[in-house]
Structure 1
């Protein structure tokens, strides 16, 4: 196909596969909003209307909801392409938008609609894992950018689904890493948001317990410079742990305070949600009895020992164990 990169390709999700496919439409909900074409032509118009109609909505959801409606009504155009992954038959459905925005006040679920001409219906295995990952966005309506040409290429008359079945998918490794990175970002953000000060100390203690250590959290308000005492077993060495939830990178002087609080024979562990300055890293390298863990390393440990965390922390950071594909030759754990 010519000028593929100039074509706009949208992705959409639905709770009603048959409605979209049998009636050749796509749609979005928000029945309380009424006719979206009467709201205005700017994102701010939509934000204001969302806040008016849904006064109890969380503040962070306002731009998300308004953005979806704005894209569907204003940005989407006749002639744009649509990719719709149907759940019932596990297929990727590709079509072209044939109408402007329309409002159906009698529709129970999707009153905001556009007509679509469905062009192709492919099994999911037709496309690379990266393309499937992009169309698996958590959003209701979104633009497909990275793999737009792959989807548009499948509409070419010369395209054959068999051409990708016997080739190794080079996007698998990238996709798996994208999923893991998104998970790490989510976890670090939630840990930073929910656990500050003493709460983070208790969280780290729970993680150390899951790793097989016995821990004692220091009394609140103490100035010893040690937040947690940990032992691997009944015998020394003792591990003195300091925990910091600050946003800025940890300085060398802060780690020196931990070393000053340590007793002869102790090992030290410094846990930070951020990272360490260059001088702090140099200090840690010169003092191997103290281990520094930054935010990403902490998240990796949480992922590894998640099932051993106290239930209160599993509820605070809910994760579901799933299997994702990795490139051949890479670690599978």
Structure 2
């Protein structure tokens, strides 16, 4: 192998080498099937979680799970005694100081109506915040009521699944085993680089 340097006539030398050579820039095309596959995986995972919740987390078990999820999110929680809880299933605090967050959990299949949410508001005292968690959704009137009552937040099944995906690693081992997930990296479309 020989190495040499072209000192004189470098431009002529490069032109001679380039004759008949067309410059091509390798364009990296996005593989659309990767994006479609990634979307399919995400949707299948969300469907799996919601089905597991609906099948295995009814009544008090869902309350205990939501309390564990809130703990994974950094809240201190106390689950109310079964029966006679006056519509309050969990009491949560971010730290030792108020505000207190009163949580009501419903695992029934039908959509939550406005009256059910009003029962949570009736149990709240001044300075409290409310959180209503359901595996289903809210009726139109219930959604309007939540919009007009900013001290109560409603979480439906889809939003609950998103929270589970976000905080899964911080859940207790018991619930990680009941909703077994594995972290997987998938390619995403590149943003236009400028």
Does the residue aligned with 1:296 lie in a helix, a strand or coil? helix
- Return 5+ residue gaps in structure 1 as ranges: 1-164
State yes or no: 1:195 paired with 2:62: no
Aligned to 2:46: 184
Matches within 5 A, 1:9-28: none
Contact 2:30 2:189 in 1 (8 A): no
What is the match of residue 292 of structure 1? Answer: 154
SS of structure 1 residue aligned to 2:54: helix
Task: Give the distance between the partners of 1:323 and 1:197, measured in 2 at CA.
Answer: 34
* DSSP 3-state at the match of 1:305: helix
Return the alpha-carbon distance in structure 1 between the equivalents of residues 79 and 60 of structure 2.
Answer: 9
Q: Which residue of 1 aligns with 2:127?
A: 265
Cα shift readout 1:216-254 (whole Å, capped 9, x = no counterpart): 000001241100000001110000000000111100000
**Partner Cα distance (1:249, 1:207) in 2:** 22
The Cα of 1:326 is off from its aligned counterpart by 1.2
1:178, CA displacement in angstroms?
1.3
Aligned partner of 2:72 in structure 1 is: 210
- Separation (CA, whole Å) in 2 of partners of 1:168 and 1:258: 49
* Residue-by-residue CA offset, 1:304-323 (whole Å, 9 max, x unaligned): 00011111111111111110
Within 2, Cα distance between the matches of 1:167 and 1:286? 47
Aligned residue for 1:253?
A: 115
Matches of 2:35 and 2:130, distance apart in 1 = 36
Unaligned runs of at least 5 residues, structure 2:
1-26
RMSD across aligned positions (CA): 1.4
Cα distance in 1, alignment partners of residues 36 and 115 from structure 2 = 39
Match of 1:329 in 2: 191
* TM-score (ref. length: structure 1): 0.49
Q: Deviations over 1:122-159 (max 9, x none)?
A: xxxxxxxxxxxxxxxxxxxxxxxxxxxxxxxxxxxxxx
Contact 2:111–2:138 (CA under 8 A) maintained in structure 1: yes
Matches within 5 A, 1:305-316: 305-316=167-178
Instruction: Give CA deviations for 1:269-326 in whole Å, capped at 9, x if unaligned.
Output: 0000000000000000000110000001001101100011111111111111110111
Q: Is the 8 A contact 2:112 2:136 kept in 1?
A: yes
* Partner SS state of residue 259, structure 1: helix
Q: How many positions carry a matched residue from both structures?
A: 166
Shift of 1:166: 4.0
Q: Structure 2 matches for 1:120-269, cutoff 5 A?
A: 166-269=28-131
Q: CA deviation at 1:167?
A: 2.1
TM-score under structure 2 length normalisation: 0.83
1:31 match: none
Provide runs of 4+ in structure 1 moved above 3 Å: none
Q: Which stretch shows the higher mean deviation, 167-176 or 244-253?
A: 167-176
